[in-house]
Amino acid sequence: MIMKRVLKAAQPYLEGRTVRDLVIGISLIAAELDNGNIGVSYVLREGLPAGCSVFPFGREVIGREAADIAAWAVTGGDNVQRGIGFAVLGAASRSQELEDAERPGYPFGIEVRETDTVGMIGYIKPVAEMFNQRARQVYIFDQGISMCGGERSAVLPMEEQPRLLLTCDVVLFSGTSLINGTAEDLIKMSPQAREIIMIGSSTPMFPSAFAGTGITVLAGSWWKSSGKAELFKMISLASGISELKEYAIKMAVKVNS
């Protein structure tokens, strides 16, 4: 599993750290480590059970060893517990020195050709618009929109995904695919893709863990510790990722094959 490799790569940056603070919103989760580093992950709420007070483990997190909580990314019993693990991993990744591959004319550090067919799993509107301007064809899939509604005009039926991804030259999918366990299947569905980009705040930014997986770029976010109070407050008020962009440090990091 990719996530077991991620936990191994993250271990040096988790060692000796504890979780200082946590916020669980309706859209996002954020965790702060004792060194002030912050990580943010999505809440895959469409897969959550119904009922009141079904997430008691959230109250157990503060003060715990960061490595123990990060392990929830694999062992968590639901999408909230796994999301907390991913937020801790995101905070730990901030201690690395990574080179940003983004440059003018090369989104996420890759070449997009006019003849390209692009597949996108997880609808991020600005990214979709950017590729629509550059590529021949863009196919977009989003399980949450398909299940719960939303901006449907650009989103294709999920049952078309296996057939259409086979034709794609570039594929992007969200780091949430690691939370719900679909990442490996998406890679297998994309045998012709010369670039596979994992995108979004939930993306664990540990490039060494992805070598040889088929993923070529990690396009995630780091977060400004100076904006912690505002960031946590906005997440507690059900803000989405687009409302937090002033606190984000966007990163696109190449994965060595």
Mean pLDDT of the chain: 93
Tens of pLDDT, residue by residue over 50-60, are: 888 788 899 99
Q: Give Cα separations from 38 to 22, 42, 153, 184, 227 (angstroms).
A: 10, 14, 35, 27, 10
The greatest distance separating any two alpha carbons of the chain, rounded to the nearest whole angstrom, comes to 52
Angle at 144 between CA 230 and CA 38, to 5 degrees: 25
Angle between helices 79-93 and 2-14 (to 10 degrees): 50
Residue-level pLDDT at 152 = 44
Q: Is the pLDDT of residue 244 over 80?
A: yes
Q: 119 pairs with which residues across the strands? A: 139, 171
| Nearest-angstrom CA–CA distance, 231 and 21 | 12
Element (H, E) at 38: strand 38-42
Tens of pLDDT, residue by residue over 150-209, are: 444 478 888 999 999 999 999 999 999 999 999 999 999 999 999 999 999 999 999 999
SS3 111: coil
- Residue with tokens 């060494």, as numbered in its chain: 208
Domains and CATH numbers, the chain: 2-95+224-245 (3.30.390.100), 107-219 (3.40.50.11590)
Residue-level pLDDT at 99 = 93
Q: Which of 36-40, 85-89, 179-183 bottoms out in mean pLDDT, i.e. has the lowest?
A: 179-183
Across the chain, how many H-helices and E-strands are there? 10, 9
Residue-level pLDDT at 146 = 53
